[in-house]
Amino acid sequence: MRRDLPVLVDYLLIPALNLALAFLVGAVVLALIGVSPSDALGTLLDGAFGSLDGLGYTLYYATTFIFTGLAVAIPYQAGLFNIGGEGQATLGGLGVTLVCQAMGGYPLWLTLPLAILVAALFGAGWAAVPAVLQVKRGSHIVITTIMFNFLAAAFMTYLLIDMLRAPGDPSPETGAFPASTALPYAHEWAQHLGLAMEESPLNLSFLVALAVAFLAWLFIRRTRWGYEIRATGHNPSAAAYAAIPVGRVTVLAVCLGGACAGLVGINEVMGVLHRLVLGFTAGAGIVGIAVALMGRNHPFGIVLAAILFGALYQGGAELAFDYPQVTRDIIVVMDGLVILFCGALENMLRAPVTRAWQRWRAVPA
C-alpha cells in the first residue's frame, strides 16, 4: 500500500511535533504558576534519567506501559479499539496472585513462566467476552470494554474484601506472597555482578516486556495470523471476500491484547507489591491508549513511547518534590497534555505536514 508520508516523517517527525506542542502548552502552564519552564524541564529530565535510581523508576513505569500499550495496539491492527486494558490488567493481577499463593516453596524458574501464562490467560479471558459480543451480537467493542473495566473493579473489590483479604487486616489486600515468588530487582542483579546500583523497583519484568513486544512484532508482521489481522483492519469486507474468518480474527486480536494487559500483574503484583492490592493498575490501562497512539501501534514505537511516559511519571514526581507550586494536579495536567496532543489530537498535524511534504516533493531540483 502506498504511503502518503515516509516512515521517518510518519513515525518520528509527527510524534515529535505533537510532543513539542504538549511541552509548549505545558511551559505556559508552568509560567503561569511562577515556575521557570526551562528549569522545570531540567529537573524533569534529571529526575528521570540523571541517576541510576531515577532511570530504574522510569523503566519500571515503562514496563507497565509497554504491556498496556500492546493491549491497545494489537486489536487496533484489526480495526478494533480495545480500551479495556484496565480491567484486563486487573484480572491478570488476580491470576498472578493465585499462582504466587499456590507456588510458595517452588523455585522462581518454575513459578514465573506459570505466572506469565496464567496472567495472560486471565487477561485474554476477560477480553474474550467483549470480543465475542462484538462478533455475535454486534456490541461495540469500545462500549463493552469500558463496561468491563467497571465490572473488573467491582469484582476485585468483592474478592479483596470478602474472599482474599488477609485475616485480621482491614486493608483490601491479600497477605504477602511467599518470598520465593518475588522477582529479582535490577539492583540485586547488579550486586551479583559486582556493580553498585541504587535501589529502584525495576525488576525482571522489564525484560519480559521487551520480549513480549518483540514477539508481538513477529506475530503481526511475520505470521499468517498477523497478516489476517492486518488485512481485517484495512478492509473487513475484502478480508471476508478473501476467505479470511473475520469473526475469529476479531476474537483473536482482542484476546491477544487482553493477554498483554494481563501481564501488568507480573510487574506490579509479582515484581513490586508482592501482594494483590486494590487499584494496583493506577490508570495504566488508560495511559496505554496514548502510548499505543504515540508509538503508531508498532511494538518498537510502543517501547519508546512507554519510556517517554515512564520519564514523565518519574520526572513529574521529582518536579513536584522540588517545586511547591507544582502540585499533583499540575502533574496530572502535564500528563494530560501529552495524552491530548499525542493521543486524541495525534492527526492534527498530519494534514499540514502531508501538504508540506507533497509541495516539497513537487519542487523540481
pLDDT in tens, 11-29: 778 888 888 888 899 889 8
Which pLDDT band holds residue 170 (cuts at 50, 70, 90)? confident
The pLDDT score that the predictor gives to residue 364 is: 60
- Supply the DSSP symbol for 154: H
Distance from C-alpha of 310 to C-alpha of 233, rounded to nearest angstrom: 29
Nearest to 279 by CA among 181, 137, 159: 159
Nearest to 44 by CA among 59, 61, 23, 60: 23
Contact present, 203 and 183 (Cβ < 8 Å): yes
Phi, psi of 173 (to 5 degrees): -155, 160
Environment class of 300 (CB within 10 Å of its CB; exposed 0-12, middle 13-18, buried 19+): middle
* Global pTM value: 0.90
Q: Across residues 130-142, what is the average pLDDT?
A: 91
The residues facing 185 across adjacent strands are: 203
Q: Across residues 261-277, what is the average pLDDT?
A: 94
Helix (H, G, I), strand (E, B) or coil at 185: strand
* Residue 311, pLDDT above cutoff 80: yes
Which pLDDT band holds residue 327 (cuts at 50, 70, 90)? confident
Phi, psi of 277 (to 5 degrees): -120, 140
Cell 486494558, residue? 85
* Residue 344, pLDDT above cutoff 80: no
* Residue 2, pLDDT above cutoff 70: no
The pLDDT score that the predictor gives to residue 119 is: 97
Phi, psi of 165 (to 5 degrees): -65, 140
Nearest to 306 by CA among 319, 318, 288: 288
Q: Across residues 80-86, what is the average pLDDT?
A: 92
Q: How far is CA 194 from CA 187, 189, 197, 199, in A?
A: 10, 9, 10, 15
Q: Which helix (H) or strand (E) holds 152?
A: helix 141-158
The pLDDT score that the predictor gives to residue 8 is: 77
Helix (H, G, I), strand (E, B) or coil at 30: helix
Q: Across residues 201-228, what is the average pLDDT?
A: 95
Q: Across residues 210-239, what is the average pLDDT?
A: 94
Q: Across residues 253-282, what is the average pLDDT?
A: 94
First to last CA, the chain: 27
Which pLDDT band holds residue 303 (cuts at 50, 70, 90)? very high
